[in-house]
Structure 1
Amino acid sequence: MKIYILLAATILATLPSIAQTDEFRKAVNLYDKEVLAPSATIFDKIADQTGKTDPHAYSLLCDVRSMVPGYENRMDAFFAEYPYSILAPQIRYAHALNLFNAEKYSEAVAQFALIKTGSLYKSQRAEYLFKKAYSHLETGDHLAASEGFGQVEKMAHSDYSAPSVYALGYIEYSRQNFEGAIGWFEKSRKDDRFKEMSTHYIFECKFMLKDYAYVIKNGRALFEAAPSDRKPHLARMISEAYLVEDDVSNAHIFYTHTLGSQSGENNRADLYFRGTLLFAVKDYKGAVENFRQMEHRTDSIGQIASYNLGYSYIQIKDKVSAMNAFKEASALGYDSKIEEDALFNYAKLAYDLNNDISGIETYLKKYTAKDKADMIYGYMAVAALRSRDYEAAVDAFDKIDELDVNMRSNYMKSNYLRANQLIRQGSYRNAVPCLKAAAYYSEKSSPFNQLARFWLAESYYRDNQFIKAREVYSDLYNLSALHGRAESWLIPYNIAYCYFKERNYAAARKWFTTYLTSENVVYRKEALLRKADCEFVEMKYKAAAAAYDEVLNEYFDVDDIYPYYQSALSYGLIDKVERKVELLANVMSASPEAEFYPEALFELGRTYAVKEDDQRAFDCFRRLAATVKDSNFVAKAYIEMGTLARNQSMFNEALGYYKTVVEQMPLSGYADDALQAIESIYQTKNDPQAYLAYIDSIGKGGVKTEDEKETMIFNAAEQIFLSENYQKTLTSLQSYKETYPQGKYVYKADFYMAESYRTLGRYEEACDSYRKVIDGGEGSFVELSMLNFADLSFRLEKWADAFMGYSSLYEAAKLPNNQYVASLGMFRSAYRNHDWSNAIKWTRHLLAGTLADDVTREAEYVLAKSCLASSMRDEAFEILARLAADKNDAYGAEAAYLLIMDCYDRGAFEEVETKVYEFADSGTGQNYWKAKCFIVLGDSFAERDDMEQAKATFESIRDAYVPSGEEDDVLDNVSFRLKRIEELANQES
């Protein structure tokens, strides 16, 4: 009030004519008593009477202080007319205070800025600077606010000194300059008005400075004295301090004081703290609840939260959510240790849940820790071995640099079992490295090693590596390997065959004899035959005849022509023609489809012809021409019948036989012989013009060109192929290729050889020949070779080769059906080769068209499994749900199993139970997958610590389940679990 009295005195000094009036004194008196409205009325009257500016300004000041509505307009008009009024600073100041009190801080700042500190009275300046600074603080201009509060703090002590010091502390606190803030708060708490809050902020600053000892020392007393609304926040800081100091018990005690006010403290920091504390006290559900509410877990705090969230999910059995949380943590680089461990855990879970190895590959590419790499691959290998995926097990073990004892044992087993799979498919070349590895890592004298080497030798043999095969077999024989086993007795037999293939017939005969004199002779007939063959090849025909007779005495079968045919040839070579005829006569009762039927029948006819038993000879040759498919033998039969007729001077009949060969089999190797015979007959008949007319009529004449000779030789071999004598086809075509290595029929020969190998079950050699056609051939044979190469590669489990073959077929196919077949082959081979991207691509390609129901289900199954292996879980389980609607086939049953596994992996054990019983009630005959589902049910009981129920579930499977084959892993899995339950029970007891 004193300010305004002094101001009135100043104004009166400028108005001597007015100052003496009673009216003005009355106005001043009212103004002094802050009766502003009447005072303003009097000042207005004086202003009207005198026309002076200052009474008018004084009246406006009264209105401003009284906050008369609309005073702002009057003020604006006044300043427009009287900008330099002596009352201007006071009017603006009063207006600024009104704005300040109305919390219109931005407008207040603007008004305060129009006032110079020196234009105000000294008694006003502290308030002016404080409120101006406070307005800056509220508008976020901390620099200007700090400057203003600092000016007040340096002035003589006033009511605004302590508030300014407190405000300076708050500004430093807001700037996170906690040390500086503590200094100001220490000063401000000397004033009773700010003692409590300054003490609180000092406490917070100490907390933010991680002075947890101070927080713990002073926290309890501060907490007890604090008002209830402040206690949750204090409790959180005290709890965190205890948590950092590893006093989890006290941390949890104070944490409980925060629970009643959580609705107001759900910012990221509070959620992070609560999650961290609950994680520390092993309240994993609570930790999950808080961590997962944190938004934008993309900073350093978020990385820690996601990492701990992952571990918390693991503890509550939700591995799917854990995988996602670890993936989030691994994508952030704030803490390198967390980043690495999170990626490791994500990779492992992605493999466990999805069979997705991309995470593991990423981890190993980024981190080169050898021990972790070995641990990862060891884990993958054992998991694959338990699921009987021996191919994946071998692949994983191969990536481990040093195998420990257990790894070596499992590596040997995986390689051996994988080799067995390959051998069953005829993939002997691929089996060789597996068997070599199995043998290398096992004791040479062990039965396992010897069995591995036995099959290694067998694989060498099947791949035509006879010397290598013999060396391994001989080593086993010298060790008396596999004594008492069936394989042991076969070793000398197999050595004999190796020598036989090497054309060392003396050694072969010796080893066949050794085998035949052993205790257990399974292949006696075969050994006797090959021993006889050795005698025959060595031109010991008498011994050969006797050896073949031994076979005939024990194993005679009229349709098994080879033994008596070979015996007959042997007798013929030692001039025992009657015995030869006796033996060959059996062929007259044999089936024309029997192997060696044309050879034996032709030889019988020739023998009759030599004996001049022309009628029987004719009977043989006529039967041969009428019944066999091989046109070469048909041609030979007609040549022989022509010769017989010619010898009997039956020239016309003879010409008929010969002309049949020339005209119907012109590309056979016997057309020239027939033509020469025709010429000879016409000369005998002294009718050369008839011969010339004949050769003109058929377009024959002159000497054959090299091309014609090549065509003739190839055609002869081709006829053998068409007669389905595939072993002889291979011999004939190989001879053609050796004669004409650059011949015009080479690729056709390769195709016929490939087809012959395929028919004989020699699939790897077939693939070799098909590849030659693909690489250099042309025409329809190439397309068919692509198809057969791809099909055989798939059968041999050479998935990459199969995919390549089908891809080539898809690009080259002229027939729409072959494109469809190629598409089928590509998605199947890509899937089995774990080439998920191509499996997905070509499955989607097929599903975009129209497919049979069974192919649609197969394609959807492959797409689902490939998506799952690519961690595309949502798409995968959407497809699996469709498949599982029908559990009557393996696709639907496995889909239902995978859905149940998903529930288990998410920790939804009650849902597991419901779905397993639904599966059991579905009536499906898919017992393997039904049993697998009940194993998951048992596991879910175990996860809930109901070991008695888990054990009962596993025992019911063990007692009732019948395995479906060697690859069935149900009982092994059950046995493993029951053993584990027994171990746990023993530990508890």
Structure 2
Amino acid sequence: MRLLLLISISLFCQFALFAQRTRQSTEQDLPLYRALSTFRQGRIEEGCQLLERVSFQEPNLSLQNQDLEIQEFRYAKIVCQLLKADKNGEIDALQFLAETNVQSWKDRIRFYLGNFYFIQQNWAAALDQYKLLSVANLTNAEIAKMQFNQGYSYFVLKQYEFAKPLLNSIRQLPGTAYQTAATYYYGLILFGEGKMNEAISCFQQVEKDSNFGKLSVYYISQIMMARGEAEQVISYLEKNASLFQDSSYPSTERNQVLGHAYFVTANFEKALPLLSFYLSAASETTRVDLYELAFSQFKMRKYAEAVMNFKKLSGAQDTIAAYSLFYLGESYVELKNKREARSAYSLCMQTAVKKDLQAAAQLNFSKLSYELGYFDEAVRELELYIRNNPASSSLLEAQEVLFASLAASSNYKRALQVLEQIQIPSTQTQQFIPSVRFGRAVELFYDGDLIEAKKLLLRIINDKWAVSIQGITNFWLGEVCYLQKDYTAAILYYNKYLSLGGVVSGEASPIHAYYNLGYAYLNLTQYKLALSNFEKVKYGNQAGNTSLELDARLRAADCQLLLRQYKNAKQLYQGFVDMDAPAAPYAFFQIASIEGIDNVNDKIRLLKELIVRYPQSPYVLKSKMSLADAYMEGEKFRDALPVLEDLLQNASAAEQPDLLFKTAVVYYNLDENEKALSYYQRLFEQYPNSAEAADALEELKAVYVDLGRATEYTTYLKKRGISVSVNLEDSLQYLVAEQQFDAKDYTRAIPSLQQYLNQFPQGKYFPDAQFRLATCYYLRKEWEQAIVPLEELLNANQSKYQFEANFILARIYYFELKKFDKAAYWYEQLIPLTVKTEDRLEIFRALLRANYQQKNWATASQFGDSLVLLKEKSKEDQALGALAKAKQCFVDNKETEGQQLLNTIPLLNKAALAAEARYELALSHFRLQQWKLAEKMAFETINKSGSYEWWVTKSYLLLGDIYLSQKDYFNARATFQSVYENANDPVLRKEALEKIELVKKSEKGN
């Protein structure tokens, strides 16, 4: 203030001296003097008017005159021109500055020229003039004006470091015209620097000003908003609402701040119109503004509008885009457009950086994938979600959706594993549980794990949500118990199934229940009940000729035979013979047996007819055996001889001891003792340890006696190593081991049996000891040790244990050691030794599977065909046989025939074989380059065989191959990458990694 006062005094003195010097001249030129005098007195506007008159009255006044009065006149005129914003004034001012030497005039001309440029918004030119002048020749008011203009010009030019001190200086001068404006602009600079407390103080000083009040209120609200004082912002702006009634700045911007405040306080109803108005009126808006509008629309249930705005924001790779994608998905859900919602969540998962948002999108994506039938994708994402978010509040929901997705994709095994993790299942999940357990139980049944299948089925029986499947659950319990040979329990469950209505579902049907009940009662020798159930096996009112019905009628005949209802039995058997059914040879044999009850000659006649009528039947051998017995029974020994000789040539090794014994007996009864002796000797020499050899000792003695060569009897026995009186030590040693074995003391029995075998290599009980030693090892599950005595026993080929030992050895190799080549060998040795149908069933099943495991498709197919001929075959047997045939077809390049076989398998099997068949069908279409069909079948494997991870993963790899073959490198790489990241099997993961590299090479090649 003191500086400005001194400057004013200095200026006054200068003007006074100047006036004294020119007094004489002014008196001579009164009009000019009067004008200049007025001008000097600071009455600029009046002085300019007088100067204009002087110019008008004296148009020839020469400005070239160097007289001081004339130069002063020139100076004053330029000032007036600049004040009037006359363009000529700028030119004259610049010329005057170049010509005059009077510093005071120069300074003041620069002041007015700077003001002129300031008005013209030529900020840089104004600043240039202000910089060149000295404030010593300006008044305080003029200095204040200049400093404000300088500050404002720097402000406009964004040179805030220069503007700030100037504006700060002016705002502190009370009473100046520029104090309010300087305070406002100084506040703006502070605002820009983030010094909110100082800035708001400035704005509050001018918030009542008519010019800057509206702007200050706006910026005050922004500062309050930046502090998080949303409620105060709302109150403040609503209180000052009258300031923003027009459309001038910042009325539109005020709507943004107020809308944002309402948005922050979750008052979306009030936020929506404000934000909507702002975005429609503002020339430039931000992504945040659009997001707040879209979110407010979402909250106010204006979902279609929200979708439009969220979509505009979704293309970037930032947090706003991620949240926009999430709520885009939410909006689509509300609009019932689940497919678009799922896509939005998928993109959100890829865009989101925040773990919580990514997890929420992943969960929603998974739920929609489940609802839309993309079960494999739902499973994959939910498994990841649960693994990565173990403490999530949505964990239970995720587990339950995963459970449902696994159930829907038939992955019952994994579904039950997930169920164990669900602590308190919801009612909806509880309703799913019985069907999942049932599905898994059926899979386990087909996979041969009857114990676990039964456990699951029993849990269903006691489940209150299982009312709709109680019937078929009882049916399958019956199936399990039947295969476990628990026929009493099987009968209970089959009857329970029938009492519950006998609902037909897949293999479960009353027909099958009656059929199996018949067999169960038959196995329990309850023939009347078996008969009544077999008689109910028919698909219509009249019995038909399906394989099931025919077998049931055949068993009914067997029951009547066992009940001694011979007439009825014969009538049923005759029906099979008359229709020439596959079972006709068996029926004919049974008729012969019935006839032989009363008349052995009729039996002989019929058996001879059977041999001629059915020469290729497996019952020919049995008929010949029975025919020989009939001849012997009728004492027609001569007739029995050719039959026995034929059998000795063709029968199995197991039958040889009995045939040799019977042939010897026949010759003895024909008084041909030498021949009888030769057959007895063959029996002793070839099968010394057989039961027949032991029985023949007395018979042999009788032959020698009849021949008069009794002494040769003992000689022969000694020659064969047979003691007439059994060696006492041999018997005692074996007796000790046998007692330990019978007491199940296998730990002590094993060394005792080994000691006997070492001490008596030719002992009477040597085969018995070998068999019991093997049995000890077998029961102790010491498989490798068990096979040694078994193979020794079988290689000797002279044991009464040949059949049992062979069976045990084959089972060890097949079930326990998984040596399928050896298992196949020993099972094949059993074929000629086998009489019982149930044994043949196991043998053919094992041979089918053992050859299948070795990829001997042709051989497996042959045993599959043999298995199909047995009435006790299962659908799994048929399915595996068809699968083996299909694979042989593919080897023979018969793709179409192979595909037809594969299509039958899912109808027969719902478990692993169905999964493999679906995959093989997809692979076949792939080989034929039928891409669409291959892709369809691969997805069918994934969606319908979820419990079988190997085939599901193989199907994903095949999908990648399909995409790669079509040069769809993006999907091929994504599929292989997914397998590599998610597969559990290291072999398949390695394969996926190799295929990823193959894709990269293929891409480079193109």
TM-score, structure 2 length as denominator?
A: 0.53
Q: Using the alignment, how far apart are the partners of 2:131 and 2:24 within structure 1? A: 38
Q: Does 1:351 align with 2:370?
A: yes
- Could you tell me which residue of structure 1 aligns to residue 738 of structure 2? none
Q: Using the alignment, how far apart are the partners of 2:603 and 2:920 within structure 1? A: 53
Distance 1:490 1:102, change over 3 A: same
- The one-letter code matched in structure 2 to 1:802 is E
Secondary structure of the residue that 1:368 maps to in structure 2?
coil
Q: Using the alignment, how far apart are the partners of 2:243 and 2:933 within structure 1? A: 83
CA contact (8 A) 2:879 2:904 kept: yes
- Could you tell me which residue of structure 2 aligns to residue 757 of structure 1? 864
Which has the higher mean CA deviation after the structures are superposed, 816-825 or 594-603?
816-825
CA contact (8 A) 2:151 2:163 kept: yes
Q: Offset at 1:372?
A: 2.9
| Residue deviations 1:750-769 (CA, integer Å, cap 9, x gap) | 85145422664567568989
Pick one of 600, 603, 606 that aligns with 1:583: 606
CA contact (8 A) 2:314 2:325 kept: no
- The one-letter code matched in structure 1 to 2:960 is K
Q: Using the alignment, how far apart are the partners of 1:83 and 1:366 within structure 2? A: 85
CA contact (8 A) 2:233 2:258 kept: yes
| Residue deviations 1:110-136 (CA, integer Å, cap 9, x gap) | 776677878977554433332232233
Distance 1:115 1:206, change over 3 A: same
Q: Using the alignment, how far apart are the partners of 1:114 and 1:746 within structure 2? A: 103
- The one-letter code matched in structure 2 to 1:583 is L
- The one-letter code matched in structure 2 to 1:798 is A
Q: Does 1:410 align with 2:524?
A: no
Q: Using the alignment, how far apart are the partners of 1:229 and 1:549 within structure 2? A: 113
Q: Does 1:314 align with 2:314?
A: no
CA contact (8 A) 2:604 2:627 kept: yes
CA contact (8 A) 2:573 2:591 kept: no
CA contact (8 A) 2:366 2:381 kept: yes
CA contact (8 A) 2:8 2:138 kept: no
- Could you tell me which residue of structure 1 aligns to residue 916 of structure 2? 802
- Could you tell me which residue of structure 2 aligns to residue 160 of structure 1? 178
- Could you tell me which residue of structure 2 aligns to residue 515 of structure 1? 530
CA contact (8 A) 1:112 1:132 kept: yes
- The one-letter code matched in structure 2 to 1:452 is T
Q: Which has the larger radius of gyration?
A: 2
CA contact (8 A) 1:561 1:596 kept: no
Q: Offset at 1:164?
A: 0.8
Q: Offset at 1:140?
A: 3.2
Pick one of 841, 847, 870 that aligns with 2:960: 841
Q: Offset at 1:162?
A: 1.4
Q: Using the alignment, how far apart are the partners of 1:555 and 1:828 within structure 2? A: 47
- Could you tell me which residue of structure 1 aligns to residue 119 of structure 2? 101
Where does structure 1 lack aligned partners over 5 or more consecutive residues?
498-507, 536-542, 633-705, 850-861, 871-989
| Residue deviations 1:397-447 (CA, integer Å, cap 9, x gap) | 577454355533431134436766x69xx9454898666434324318998
Pick one of 390, 406, 410 that aligns with 1:368: 390
| Residue deviations 1:695-739 (CA, integer Å, cap 9, x gap) | xxxxxxxxxxx9xxx99x999979x99xxxx9999898899999x
Query: Where do residues 253-652 of structure 1 align in structure 2 (5 Å cutoff)?
Result: 255=274, 258=277, 262=281, 267-294=286-313, 307-327=326-346, 340-353=359-372, 355=374, 356-357=377-378, 358-369=380-391, 372-379=394-401, 400-404=422-426, 407-416=429-438, 427=446, 429=448, 436-443=455-462, 451-452=472-473, 454-456=475-477, 458=479, 466=484, 473=490, 476=493, 486=510, 493-495=518-520, 508=523, 510=525, 515-516=530-531, 522=537, 551-556=569-574, 557-558=576-577, 559=580, 560-564=583-587, 566-567=589-590, 578-587=601-610, 596=619
- Could you tell me which residue of structure 2 aligns to residue 974 of structure 1? none
Q: Does 1:187 align with 2:301?
A: no
| Residue deviations 1:570-594 (CA, integer Å, cap 9, x gap) | 7999998633432234447857776
Secondary structure of the residue that 2:163 maps to in structure 1?
helix
Distance 1:791 1:164, change over 3 A: same
Pick one of 150, 153, 167 that aligns with 1:149: 167
Distance 1:805 1:480, change over 3 A: closer
CA contact (8 A) 2:482 2:520 kept: no
Distance 1:754 1:773, change over 3 A: closer
Q: Offset at 1:44?
A: 7.4
Q: Using the alignment, how far apart are the partners of 1:519 and 1:803 within structure 2? A: 34
CA contact (8 A) 1:381 1:396 kept: yes
Q: Using the alignment, how far apart are the partners of 1:327 and 1:715 within structure 2? A: 57
Give RMSD over aligned pairs.
Answer: 7.2
Q: Offset at 1:163?
A: 0.8
Distance 1:597 1:180, change over 3 A: farther
Secondary structure of the residue that 1:510 maps to in structure 2?
coil
- The one-letter code matched in structure 2 to 1:351 is Y
Q: Using the alignment, how far apart are the partners of 1:276 and 1:832 within structure 2? A: 40
Q: Using the alignment, how far apart are the partners of 1:822 and 1:307 within structure 2? A: 35
Q: Using the alignment, how far apart are the partners of 1:235 and 1:533 within structure 2? A: 97
Distance 1:801 1:451, change over 3 A: closer
Secondary structure of the residue that 2:370 maps to in structure 1?
helix
- The one-letter code matched in structure 1 to 2:473 is A
Q: Offset at 1:322?
A: 3.8
| Residue deviations 1:890-927 (CA, integer Å, cap 9, x gap) | xxxxxxxxxxxxxxxxxxxxxxxxxxxxxxxxxxxxxx
Q: Using the alignment, how far apart are the partners of 1:604 and 1:791 within structure 2? A: 47
Distance 1:162 1:376, change over 3 A: same
Distance 1:782 1:549, change over 3 A: farther
User: What is the aligned-residue identity percentage?
Assistant: 16
- Could you tell me which residue of structure 1 aligns to residue 149 of structure 2? 131
Which has the higher mean CA deviation after the structures are superposed, 182-191 or 217-226?
217-226
Secondary structure of the residue that 1:583 maps to in structure 2?
helix
| Residue deviations 1:161-206 (CA, integer Å, cap 9, x gap) | 2111111223344455544333112222465543444345445544
Distance 1:309 1:787, change over 3 A: closer
Where does structure 2 lack aligned partners over 5 or more consecutive residues?
41-46, 503-509, 538-547, 654-794, 796-820, 869-873, 946-951, 980-1006
Q: Using the alignment, how far apart are the partners of 1:716 and 1:143 within structure 2? A: 100
Secondary structure of the residue that 1:159 maps to in structure 2?
coil
Secondary structure of the residue that 1:170 maps to in structure 2?
helix
Distance 1:273 1:768, change over 3 A: closer
Q: Using the alignment, how far apart are the partners of 1:457 and 1:754 within structure 2? A: 30
Q: Using the alignment, how far apart are the partners of 1:754 and 1:454 within structure 2? A: 31
Secondary structure of the residue that 1:317 maps to in structure 2?
coil
Distance 1:237 1:82, change over 3 A: same
TM-score, structure 1 length as denominator?
A: 0.53
- Could you tell me which residue of structure 2 aligns to residue 900 of structure 1? none
CA contact (8 A) 1:717 1:729 kept: no
Query: Where do residues 851-866 of structure 1 align in structure 2 (5 Å cutoff)?
Result: none
- The one-letter code matched in structure 2 to 1:407 is T
Q: Offset at 1:341?
A: 4.0
